Structure 1
Amino acid sequence: MWTKHHKKRKLGRFVMPLITVAFLSYFGYHSIHGDYGLKATEKFDRQRIERQARLSELTQQRQILEKEVALLSDGSLERDMLDEKARFGLNMSRNDEIVIFH
């Protein structure tokens, strides 16, 4: 019976653990610092909250504008609303009026 006798290398024992450590280190780093990692998720959440607040502000502004348009275009023009918009657009008022801008 033929057998091969060879020396066992000491480095041979460390190859598989080194590959495993490298593999886990690579994916561990990218799970925290990568494009879709934990830090990026926190950034996305902050952006979502900021944009949600901005959306609610814009929605309120739009509702106010829709009410004003409804007053101007419902068939019977509101004289006060029309007068207010004309004076504001032209930046004019009468001598006996006090104008308060808000």
Structure 2
Amino acid sequence: MIRFMKKIAHISKNISQAWATGLWFFLIAYFAIHAFQGESSLSALKELEQQEFALKQQAQDIAAVRSALEMRTEKMGGQTVDPDLLEEQVRARLGFAHQDEVILFLE
């Protein structure tokens, strides 16, 4: 009878160890699958990094345009006006031209 009880205890111990091992395998498989699929996967992280790079480039381009516009606005305002800029604006808005200039109208 004691041998039978020892065998049952041994089988019970093996079953509990098998459950623990199975649980660990399940957890490892679960996290491995989610590491490569889904919204928070490694491929999604790579896409986000590419998008970040593109947005940084776009931000740099916009900053360059903004600084150019700020410089142009600074020339137009303030105490003095840049004569070249004033002449450019007058010609563009009023259609004035010098006598020796040739104007081509494009449709």
Q: TM-score, normalised by structure 1?
A: 0.68
Is 1:81 aligned to 2:60, yes or no? no
- Once residues 36 and 94 of structure 2 are traced to their aligned partners in structure 1, the CA distance between those partners, rounded to angstroms, is 56
The equivalent of 1:40 in structure 2 is: 44
- Once residues 90 and 32 of structure 2 are traced to their aligned partners in structure 1, the CA distance between those partners, rounded to angstroms, is 64
Picking from 16, 20, 26, the partner of 1:16 is 20
The equivalent of 1:55 in structure 2 is: 59
Q: List alignment gaps of at least 5 residues for structure 1.
A: none
Structure richer in helix, relative to its length: 2
Measured at CA, do residues 91 and 56 of structure 1 come closer, stay the same or move farther in structure 2, by a change above 3 Å? farther
Measured at CA, do residues 91 and 52 of structure 1 come closer, stay the same or move farther in structure 2, by a change above 3 Å? farther
Q: Which protein shows a greater Rg?
A: 2
Q: List alignment gaps of at least 5 residues for structure 2.
A: none
- 1:45-76 C-alpha deviation (Å, 9 max, x unpaired): 10111011101110110111011111101312
Higher relative contact order (CA closer than 8 Å, sequence separation 6+): 1
Q: Which AA in structure 1 matches 2:103?
A: I
Which one is further off, 34-43 or 47-56?
34-43
C-alpha deviation, 1:86, in angstroms: 5.0
- Once residues 27 and 72 of structure 2 are traced to their aligned partners in structure 1, the CA distance between those partners, rounded to angstroms, is 63
Q: Which AA in structure 2 matches 1:55?
A: A
